[in-house]
Amino acid sequence: MKKHTLALGVSIALLSTYSQAQTSSEKEIWGGLFGEYYSVYPEKFEPNTAYDSGMGWGGEIGMKLTPDWGFRFEVAKLDLEAERGSGSITGERIGVDALYFINQSNYYIFGGLKNQRLDESYRMADLGLGAHWQLSDKWKIISEIAGYYDFGQGNPEYSAKLGVAYSFGKTGGQRVNKDSDNDGVIDQRDLCPNTAFGATVDVDGCALKATDSDKDGVIDAKDQCANTPMNDKVDANGCSIFTEESKTMSLKILFDNNSSKLKNIDSASVQEFVDFMRRYGSTDAVIEGYASAPGTEQYNMKLSVERAEAVRQYLVEQYNIDSARLEAVGYGETKLLDKANTREAHQKNRRIEAYVTATVKIAVSK
């Protein structure tokens, strides 16, 4: 055991010197001490005294060759308790492991070959899971569980380990994925360092010639709205800028004296009004009925309502406009267009007026 301890100490010293000399290396070197719980196969020593489990301690020196792979050399001293009665047996274990770091993280799978010496020597293979828990840039905790297979007897054994390690050298770990110009290509592969911020680059880190297919002033790489109209003003994402405007359509129909029947309707005006309502399907129209001054106020109010309702029914039945979108209201003689007591004035006042307003988005021109 003294020879193995001496070998471990020499290895640590040599690897520490190596880590200081290799200033451009991307390797990480660590050394650590650990304690472990070890469970031995109960019938391993038959017909002699059977031993069960016990504690151990030891040290390791390891090197991370790449972000994925590493190896380590390990020496441990074991102290196993007798399964029945008193007594114990001491021994040692020495070997090497390959470590695979899962997704380049601090969690790893390891496996290797070990030589265990208790009452005699045993050749073993091990396989386990472990983790390095970083305390600081230099210090970390090591935790592992492992299974062992004895090639001679074919017996399984197990251990759980907890220790602490110190990194002697980690030269270059921060430079592995460094991207000085922030173009998405790491420095080791960047053939065009210091490209302008925000520039689109190829796999070698060199700026691509910017293209603007729809000529809106925003390059294709950043254009979220391709093929915008040539005359539209666009935002930083290449999308048309809109403003809201109100559009209103009106309809006017005249009636005979004392009548709410429709006749001599200007079908073109009605069709234009209907087309507007169909184009803007979320709009509602108000149909206002009016009467001329002759007659009582109560009668004229009733007549104006009938005129508004007549137009409402006409739009529903002849043009299939949803009745819920049409409101008929009567105002009687309260809103005369012409207050003169003449035939022409009375004709102007016998009417309905319908209005519908839509709020629409209009693209802003350059």
CATH code of residue 67: 2.40.160.20
Which residue among 142, 170, 198 closes a domain?
170
Is residue 148 a contact partner of residue 156, using CB atoms and an 8 Å limit? yes
- Look at the alpha carbons of 50, 55, 60, 62 in this order and tell me if their dihedral is positive or negative: positive
**Mean pLDDT confidence for 79-97:** 81
Query: What's the pLDDT at 215?
Result: 79
Among residues of the chain, what percentage have pLDDT more than 90?
51
Do 155 and 12 lie in one domain? The reply is yes
229 domain residue, yes or no: no
**Mean pLDDT confidence for 265-285:** 91
Do 16 and 133 lie in one domain? The reply is yes
* CA–CA dist 348, 342 (Å, integer): 10
198 domain residue, yes or no: no
**CA neighbor of 23 nearest in space, from 181, 172, 187:** 172
215 domain residue, yes or no: no
Do 156 and 7 lie in one domain? The reply is yes
Tokens 């360092």: give the residue.
193
278 domain residue, yes or no: yes
Is residue 77 a contact partner of residue 94, using CB atoms and an 8 Å limit? no
Taking 70 as the threshold, does the pLDDT of residue 138 lie above it? yes
Beta strands at 88-101 and 351-363: parallel, antiparallel or unpaired: unpaired
182 domain residue, yes or no: no
Among 79-93, 286-300, 322-336, name the one with the lowest average pLDDT: 79-93
Which residue among 170, 200, 221 closes a domain?
170
- Whether residue 47 is preceded by a cis peptide bond, meaning omega within 30 degrees of 0, is yes
Neighbours of 267 (CB within 10 A): 8
Do 149 and 261 lie in one domain? The reply is no
Which residue among 123, 154, 170 closes a domain?
170
Do 156 and 252 lie in one domain? The reply is no
Structural domain of residue 249, as residue ranges?
244-363
Query: What's the pLDDT at 101?
Result: 95
Taking 90 as the threshold, does the pLDDT of residue 14 lie above it? no
80 domain residue, yes or no: yes
> How many structural domains is the chain composed of?
2
**Mean pLDDT confidence for 243-251:** 88
Do 164 and 29 lie in one domain? The reply is yes
* CA–CA dist 311, 352 (Å, integer): 8
pTM: 0.42
**Mean pLDDT confidence for 44-66:** 83
Is residue 329 a contact partner of residue 288, using CB atoms and an 8 Å limit? yes
**Mean pLDDT confidence for 72-88:** 81
Query: What's the pLDDT at 176?
Result: 53
Query: What's the pLDDT at 47?
Result: 66
Query: What's the pLDDT at 286?
Result: 95
187 domain residue, yes or no: no
Q: What is the CATH number of the domain that holds 311?
A: 3.30.1330.60
- pLDDT band per the 50, 70, 90 thresholds, residue 6: very low
228 domain residue, yes or no: no
Do 135 and 271 lie in one domain? The reply is no
Query: What's the pLDDT at 172?
Result: 46
